[in-house]
Chain A
Amino acid sequence: MSEETKYEGHFAVEGGNFRNAGQVSSRIKNILKDLGCDNDIVRRAAIVTYEAEINIVSYARKGLIHLNAKPDRVRIEISDEGPGIADIELAMQEGYSTASPIVREMGFGAGMGLANMKRFSDNFNITSKVNEGTRVVMQIDQVR
Chain B
Amino acid sequence: MNLEKIAESLKLSVRCGANNLKREVTGGFVGDLLSDVIANSQEGNIWITRQIHQNIVAVASLKDIAAIVLVQGSEPAAETIARAEQEGIPLLVTALPGFEVAGRIYKMLNP
Contacts and interface: CB of A to CB of B under 8 A. Distances in A.
A106 B55 contact: yes
Given A22-B55, A106-B53, A116 B62 contact: no
A106 B35 contact: no
Given A19-B54, A22-B62, A107-B51, A47 B34 contact: no
A22 B58 contact: yes
Interface of B: 32-36, 38-39, 43, 51, 53-56, 58-59, 61-63, 79
Nearest to B62: A46
A103 to B, nearest CB: 11
| A interface bracket (residues with beta carbon within 8 Å of B) | 20 to 34
Given A22-B62, A26-B61, A26-B62, A112 B55 contact: no
Contact of B33 (A18, A19, A23, A110): A110
A108 B51 contact: no
Given A50-B38, A51-B38, A119-B39, A107 B32 contact: yes
A116 B58 contact: no
Interface string A103-140: 00011101011001001100000000000000000000
10 contacts: A18-B53, A18-B55, A22-B62, A29-B62, A47-B38, A51-B38, A106-B51, A107-B51, A108-B35, A112-B39
A36 to B, nearest CB: 18
Contacts of B38: 47, 50-51, 116
Dominant secondary structure at the B interface = helix
B35 A112 contact: yes
A36 B62 CA distance: 17
A47 B33 CA distance: 14
A50 B39 CA distance: 10
A47 B55 contact: no
Given A47-B39, A106-B51, A26 B34 contact: no
A79 interface: no
- List of 5 A-B pairs having minimum Cβ-Cβ separation, nearest first: A22-B58, A112-B35, A110-B33, A107-B34, A116-B39
A78 interface: no
Contacts of B34: 54, 106-108, 110
A41 interface: no
Interface in A42-70: 43, 46-47, 50-51, 54
A83 to B, nearest CB: 20
